Structure 1
């Protein structure tokens, strides 16, 4: 029998988890559902979510298969450095809470396309609404479904296609209840994923401590550090094999800021959780999410490093091989779960499922929100009633999930199958559009002279610039950018050729700067011609924070600084 196959006790634990989440979701729906609820109430849970529900929902929506499987796989390969996505996000969340959320709430912005419509024009808003729908379905839904199903298939010995379908159905059931159900069930999902993740880490460290004379958690952690010292550096040097993924100081002063600020501040999927609350509640929830972010590397990074050390000690050789016999980092976390006894393995299995389903539900709700409020109501049927919009939103959830399932069947294995780092794939290819979008948002927030044509330039030009910096090193000598990349030998047209590559985080930084410069020039030209852009209400009083929030933000920032100082 497969060592990782679940026992009957594991299925009992998983069934209890499923019943609790489904039952609580049904209770929330019946208690808080209003037959005459507005579309904003359904999609945004306007005024209904508490700070702790917002914070938990933010993390539940963010932590999914790409973290449990992809990040653990990257940790197996490159170590603690991959934690930069989590710890830098904690600082980013504070910035979003202080500067971004007040702008959205003061101007009554409920969706990202709505922001673009009010700040620029309907053309920019519609282009980006359609783009976001495609991105969320083709990249996000598909990747979450496929990576999640791949992990569950490895653990439970269930056909991967069946896993994809079951995950989609579970997520649809949660999503159809609206944002209230998603927000409050996410509290349970986060509790389960944190508990299950900590159990897996605890037992992995205990297993490592068996190689020492003093078994125990601390002994296992010290042994892990001693055996994998090269895996405990946050800033990678240029001679590191993983430099292309995390290029040194760029994680502190370069493209990582664009990744995080765009994801946490300009992303319907994330900001939607806070847009239905008042400023105090929204900020409290985001600060709570920042605190939880500090904990995430313990749950999704340490397991990958532990799997690396155990693999070096002779374990998991069979479990971590792909079907073609190649070492597959994405199997690090599922392999680690094979150490768990019956019952606890079911808990960790439930934690993984919770992370996947919560992310799927959040993504599907955002797809329904954008399609219903920003495309259907604005361009197709402006007179649609709230009841019709809610029903259409439910239908769009089912259609979007069905498309995600179909894409997972057709191209999931090709893009994120065995041997590939799914997490890095998602980050790099989302990065083709992030710099332009972030430039458009940040200037739209804080520079009233930015025009609609400048925003269009950032949207389209940012993608073109990203493609240029990705492809042109094959044809053009960019060695003058030597501090930001390196050359390598490659076989091209049956000849050994020296190719110059730019790490994608640095590439994002270059593109962002070019987009800002382009927007500035275009806006200045149009301003001189008498074009007066639409402005938002922005004043310095909006950015004042309470003493409690300031104290919490300083504590979080101090912890991040300390972590980077210790593990530099």
Structure 2
């Protein structure tokens, strides 16, 4: 687990602190938000009561994780991602065609761009009403890097999938493939969302936009895409539950019960999974019910922890002088500084706060590490035989991803 790595690099205290942080984050941010957003989609497409949908999704995901494990999640991802991408392209095509009044998808896109130009801007100006969510160039030059490095590089349920690959090369191919899939998000998610501004202008909350657009699909196709969507919700939730169970079992129970056999550890992990789902079901509505967009909630509160996480791992990997005292100061400082800045400077956009807290936590970790004795005996991580090079296919694909991103920002600046 990620906390186990921290113990081998720094010591036992930072492992415990970060395990507590991650458990809180996964249960009260990730699990609750997936349950709530999944229930929104189910409610909008089928009409099932939203809290009933929360319970059904939670129970189904729990059973799925308990009896299928991570392998079941990975295998079903192949099928459901294919269906979701194809279904998403179909939704985008239908919505744009409807906007084009039968003149075609291109005509619909041009009409949408002309009618809603502000929704296509990727760099927002200060007079934009959503500037606080996406504060212009500071997004690209600041906190967005911290959020993404933390998610893709130092996150238990992403790392767990990478470690399950057959080799480092296969894991790199998985990351590269995910990057290309991410590039489809503007087409399969954002475009139907913008189209909803014109096709369904009276929705109660923005989170209802995409499920509403899904209802435009023909009945048979809608059923297929909806099944894939539910499967994706369940698989995503199951992977978070799996991470909670893994961290609790290995970083708390097994640490205090070193003689426990594998069967006992599995039972404890399953019990931890049940508790995580129950807590998620009970707290989903109180935590997310008041938000117009649940994604805001996810980013806002994940941002309390991510600056410290990135500091700890980056220094742990690339600066031998970093010690446990410095890591602890970064972890605790990130959380305390985030709350302090949120209360003292409420007008500061959260993404800018993430970038600022990262710099403060970095300075704190470096300063404390230099002011306290080095502890090389605690660092048992050996990276001398690690090959950091990436293959030609990966490098070529990475350049292609960057080129596409540059082109998108050039067109939709």
TM-score by length of 2: 0.95
Spell out, residue by residue over 1:366-401, the C-alpha distance to the aligned partner (whole angstroms, 9 max, x if none). 11111112211112x111222222232223222221
Q: Which of the numbers 9, 12, 34 marks the counterpart of 1:119?
A: 9
Structure 2 Cα separation of the partners of residues 420 and 335 of structure 1 = 15
Is 1:145 the counterpart of 2:35? The answer is yes
State the alpha-carbon separation in 2 of the partners of residues 401 and 144 from structure 1: 11
Q: Displacement of 1:540 after TM fit?
A: 8.9
Partner of 1:306: 195
Separation (CA, whole Å) in 2 of partners of 1:354 and 1:182:
9
CA pair 419-178 structure 1, distance change in 2 beyond 3 A: closer
Structure 1 residue 268 corresponds to structure 2 residue 144: no
1:197-251 Cα distance to aligned partner (Å, 9 max, x none): 22211211111110xxx61122212222121111111111111111111111122
Residue 509 of structure 1: CA displacement?
0.9
8 Å CA contact 2:121, 2:412 repeated in 1 = yes
Match of 2:94 among 196, 203, 208: 203
Q: How far off is 1:287 after superposition?
A: 1.0
Q: Does 1:337 align with 2:225?
A: no
Matched, 1:132 2:22: yes
Task: Decide whether the 8 Å contact of 1:182 with 1:361 is kept in 2.
Answer: yes
Q: Distance in 2 between matches of 1:236 and 1:154?
A: 30
Aligned equivalents of 2:215 and 2:289: distance in 1?
A: 21
Residue 393 of structure 1 is matched in structure 2 by 269
Instruction: Check the 8 A contact 1:149/1:163 in 2, yes or no.
Output: yes
Question: Is 1:556 matched with 2:401?
Answer: yes
Shift in Å, 1:565: 1.4
Assess, with a 3 A threshold, how the Cα gap between structure 1 residues 539 and 224 changes in structure 2: closer, same or farther: farther
- Residue in 2 that maps onto 1:484: none
Q: Which among 213, 220, 229 is matched to residue 117 of structure 2?
A: 229
Instruction: Return the alpha-carbon distance in structure 1 between the equivalents of residues 412 and 385 of structure 2.
Output: 37
Q: Any idea what SS the aligned residue of 2:161 has? A: coil
The correspondence for 1:454, drawn from 315, 326, 333, is 326
The 8 Å contact of residues 77 and 232 in structure 2, kept in 1 or not, is answered as no
335, 342, 350: which one aligns with 1:504: 350
**SS of 1:343 mapped into structure 2:** helix
In structure 2, the gaps of 5 or more residues are: none
User: Aligned-pair distance for 1:193?
Assistant: 1.7
- 1:434 corresponds to 2:310: no
- Counterpart residue number, 1:514: 360
Matches within 5 A, 1:162-173: 162-173=52-63
- Structure 2 equivalent of residue 155 of structure 1: 45
Partners of 2:350 and 2:118 lie apart in 1 by: 23
Structure 1 contact 448–536 (Cα < 8 Å) conserved: no
Rate the CA distance shift 1:203–1:465 in 2: closer, same or farther, 3 A: same
For residues 41-67 of structure 1, the C-alpha deviation after alignment (integer angstroms, 9 at most, x for no partner) is xxxxxxxxxxxxxxxxxxxxxxxxxxx
Pick aligned residue for 1:407 from 283, 288, 298: 283
- Identify the residue that residue 180 of structure 2 maps to in structure 1: 291
Aligned equivalent of 1:470: 342
Judging by fraction of residues, say which structure has more helix: 2
For residues 164 and 221 of structure 2, what CA distance do their matches in structure 1 show?
37
The residue aligned with 2:136 is 248
Q: 2:164 aligns to what SS in structure 1?
A: coil
CA distance in 2, matches of 1:540, 1:118: 17
Partners of 1:198 and 1:399 lie apart in 2 by 37
Q: Is the 8 A contact 2:95 2:195 kept in 1?
A: yes
Verify the 8 A CA contact 1:196 1:350 in the aligned structure 2.
no
Runs ≥4 residues deviating over 6 A: none
Q: Distance in 1 between matches of 2:291 and 2:337?
A: 29
Question: Aligned pairs, how many?
Answer: 410
Q: Secondary structure at the match of 1:135?
A: helix
- Measured at CA, do residues 252 and 540 of structure 1 come closer, stay the same or move farther in structure 2, by a change above 3 Å? farther
1:332-371 mapped onto 2 (5 Å cutoff): 332-371=209-248
Superposed displacement of residue 132, structure 1: 1.0
Decide whether the 8 Å contact of 1:199 with 1:344 is kept in 2. no
TM-score, normalization by structure 1: 0.69
SS in 2 for 1:272: helix
**8 Å contact 1:190–1:355 — kept in the other structure?**
yes
- Equivalence for 2:370: 524
- How is 1:171-182 mapped onto 2 (pairs within 5 angstroms)? 171-176=61-66, 177-182=68-73
Deviation at 1:352, TM superposition (A): 2.6
